[in-house]
Amino acid sequence: MTGASNARAAPPGCVVRAGRWTVHLCTPDEALHWVVDVEGRLLAGHVDGLHHRVGLDATVVARTPGLRGAARRLPPAEGDAVLAAAAGALRVVAEDLARGAVPLQLDHEAPPDAERARVADLLRRAADRAARPEDERAAFARVYRPVRVLPPDCAQALVAQLTEGCSYGRCSFCTLYAGVPFRIKPPAAFAAHLEDVAALLGQGAALRARLFLGDANALLAPMPSLLQALGALRARFPEAARGGVDAFVDVFSGRGRTADELRALRDAGLRRLTVGLESGHPPLLAWLRKPVVPEAVMGLVDRARRAGLDVGVTVLVGAGGREFDRAHVEDTAQVVRDMRLGPRDLVLLSPLVVDAASEYARRAARAGVRALAPDEQEAQADRLRAALSGGRWRVSRYDLERFVY
Ligand code: SF4
């Protein structure tokens, strides 16, 4: 498709399918497929056999098809080249659509001629936006600190950052919030943030199926602020609020939260807490510099469930390499089984990704810890899945590399 940027006509068989909130541009063989939102923002595409997802900040993640397809966050220059090619394709199809040379399929009731003109304009706008990724980056940076990761079923959530960064920030394997000072937004700043988010997303907010209260430790905010924030968030985005509000929590940010407080948060709209366990093997947790013990995570999970909240529990696949392999799998499976999670709860298997500049990399080198090869890491994930099968909870893959907001 990259060559399509210089094409003078839409590819053979190209069709535009328009809904109220998205427009798809695709060829019958799916060699070319781009998805644009109602604001003319490129969301995703299929190009040269790769799936691409495009973030609000113009970050592009490419991955090979399939459940275990490898994902890669493209460096800005490479991502911008993909967007430039998309811009070329969108522009050509927009003009062919406007003059009736490309079929338009509607999935809603609307006058066809007016829709053709609207969708052609939308594709032109999408082409302009895709051609200027630096504008998208700047607009995003005015509203958000980086949104590093969300649970996999929250990929389409609308994020509001009540807090920024991580209050701890010293887990050896984690560089997610490096350079982002932790802060809790006062109510007025949070209210302004919600308006900024609404302005950034525009009508595209209609595509967001739930809400996420970021960042890593939102539950560290005082209870009155939390309750107020949940109320303001749900009132500002009532459509997305129907899917409930999610948040991350760690033992050190949730330790002080009683079951009564968690129940009050649930009553205010909180739906699920995703808790960082990472491992059920205490020596590995210590080695990872994760300041928790499994019993404390189990206590927090128990309180959350008694309060009527769903929980997600993250497990770091491959943590501690070959040296910890067996004990990590055995102890983690035991701890998760002992949590007695329910059918709405999730265990999230997150493959370890080691940043060469991380404390983890330095510690592993010093201690001679041998990393699992990619196939060994997959095998460990399979063993964890097998050890966790038969429970009422769901087990899902949680791939940082695939995430883009
Ligand atoms: S793993 Fe969680 S608690 Fe640890 S540094 Fe990263 S965001 Fe913070």
CB of 299 closer than 6 angstroms to any ligand 1 atom: no
* Final residue in a domain of this structure, among 132, 153, 181: 132
Residue 349 included in any domain: yes
At residue 48, the pLDDT reads 80
- Tell me the whole-structure pTM to 2 decimals: 0.94
Indicate whether 196 and 125 sit together in one domain: no
Among 100, 132, 164, identify where a domain stops: 132
Q: Is residue 137 part of a domain?
A: no
Mutation test of ligand 1: which of 147, 148, 167, 168 has the most ligand atoms closer than 8 Å to its C-beta? 168
CA dist., res. 224 & res. 156, Å (int): 28
Domain boundaries, position 274: 144-402
C-alpha of residue 138 to centroid of ligand 1, in Å: 26
Instruction: Tell me, in angstroms, the distance from the centre of ligand 1 to residue 231's CA.
Output: 26
Which is the closest atom of ligand 1 to the Cα of 175? 6
Same domain, 154 and 114: no
Our mutation pick for probing the ligand 1 site, out of 149, 177, 180, 285, counting the most ligand atoms within 8 A of Cβ, is 177
Best of 174, 284, 353 to mutate for ligand 1, by most ligand atoms within 8 A of CB? 174
Distance 220 CA to ligand 1 centre (A): 14
Same domain membership, residue 148 and residue 126: no
State how far the Cα of 36 lies from the Cα of 113, in Å rounded to an integer. 20
For residues 381 and 137, what is the distance between their CA atoms, to the nearest angstrom?
35
Cβ-contact 247, 270 below 8 angstroms: yes
Which residues lie closer than 8 Å to 221 by C-beta, 6 or more apart? 162, 163, 184, 229
Dist CA 335 CA 386 (whole Å) = 15
Determine, yes or no, domain membership for 178.
Answer: yes
Atom 4 of ligand 1: nearest residue by CA position: 171
pLDDT in single tens digits along all 405 residues of the chain:
444 456 788 889 999 999 999 999 999 988 889 999 999 999 999 988 899 999 999 999 999 987 677 899 999 999 999 999 999 999 999 999 999 999 999 999 888 899 999 999 999 999 999 999 999 999 999 999 999 999 999 989 999 999 999 999 999 999 999 999 999 999 999 999 999 999 999 999 999 999 999 999 999 999 999 999 999 999 999 999 999 999 999 988 766 799 999 999 999 999 999 999 999 999 999 999 999 999 999 999 999 999 999 999 999 999 999 999 999 999 999 999 999 999 999 999 999 999 998 999 999 999 999 999 999 999 999 999 999 999 999 999 999 988 999
Residue 386 lies in a domain: yes
Q: Is 335 in the pocket of ligand 1 (CB under 6 A)?
A: no
Query: Ligand 1, atom 6: nearest CA belongs to which residue?
Result: 174
Domain boundary among 98, 132, 166: 132
- 170 and 291 together in one domain: yes
Query: Are the CB atoms for 146 and 73 separated by under 8 Å?
Result: no
Nearest to 176 by CA among 346, 347, 400, 362: 400
* Cα 250 to ligand 1 centre (Å): 8
pLDDT at position 6 is: 61
Structural domain count, the chain: 2
> Domain check: are 222 and 366 in the same one?
yes
Residue nearest to atom 2 of ligand 1 (CA): 216
